[in-house]
Amino acid sequence: MKKKILIISGGISKERSVSLDTGLQVANELRRNLYNVKISEPNYNLEKTIKKFNPHLIFNALHGQFGEDGYIQTILEMLKIPYTHSGVIPSAIAMDKEISKKLFAKYKINTPKFFTYSFDKRNSQLVKAIDSRLKFPVVVKPLNEGSSVNVFICTKKNIFKILNSLKNYKRVMIEQFIGGREIQVAILGNKKLGAIELKPKRKFYDYQAKYNTNAKTQHIIKIDLPKKKLNEVLEIAHKAHKIIGCKGVTRSDFKYFNGKFYLLEINTQPGMTKLSLVPEIAAHNGMSFLELIEWILEDASTNR
């Protein structure tokens, strides 16, 4: 008998539409293979829904705040039901770009230099600080968003305009801009699944480049890198996965510049949409979409 799977998708983050798409595509694949599947929002009725449906486990298809930052994981831990992907603390660490980058640095993983900017303090010396510590252009991003939501490349001319548009976040990260190539690596548990290179038509691999089919980002699954370098980036991603204590599948985002890999961040709940990278990497390595989902489900049921 196939397992009963409750998929939680949607949510309140800016990645709601991506989450709904992930949830629907996972549900459709499981239903085609005779699983008993129900999709639910993470709302006030979630506990009632779980008790009524009584699933074997939960597929967490949420992205962004509340979904992959430890909050929903805390609720599911309290309800004592197995769920996919990483647990409370690893999810919270990976989602917080400041904490995760400090951890990368501690374990000698290259990551772009950065500092945080707080909107409750007037910083008349900001441009001088950037010039001395990072150099323009810089990347400005929220500390706890995913899918490159509200990420901007800034120059001296537009830095304050961009910062003004991000005041709702209270604190943001100002990060050294690293040029070069976009490399993404998928890890499944203890397995280095593979990597993919992206060539966006836009300035960088932002939200539109990730999810807009008209953005025409080129996906290169056979990366033009020496085998030694490819193994190196796979090993770094695996190391980051272990350091943070991740479970299930993760996707790490890198820049490759002047022979060095720079880890930007690690994603504990990668998308499962038609444009998502982990299913594409899996398919290239002989793993179907169903096999990938079933691996994630099996991992959730045996590693809690």
The catalytic residue positions are 15, 147, 211, 251, 253, 265, 267, 271
Cα 265 from Cα 111, distance rounded (Å): 9
CA dihedral 151, 155, 159, 165 (to 10 degrees): -40
Nearest-5° Cα angle at 57, 52 to 60 = 100
User: 9: helix, coil or strand?
Assistant: coil
Structure tokens at 143: 């500390």
Q: Are 83 and 145 in contact (CB under 8 A)?
A: no
User: 5: helix, coil or strand?
Assistant: strand
Cα 131 from Cα 115, distance rounded (Å): 12
Cα 177 from Cα 154, distance rounded (Å): 9
- Kind and range of the H or E element at 230? helix 227-244
Look up tokens 């190196």; give the residue: 232
Show the beta-strand stretches assigned E in the chain.
4-8, 36-40, 57-60, 114-118, 138-142, 152-154, 171-176, 181-188, 191-199, 218-220, 249-257, 260-267
User: What is the rounded end-to-end Cα distance, in angstroms, of the chain?
Assistant: 22
Q: Are 128 and 301 in contact (CB under 8 A)?
A: no
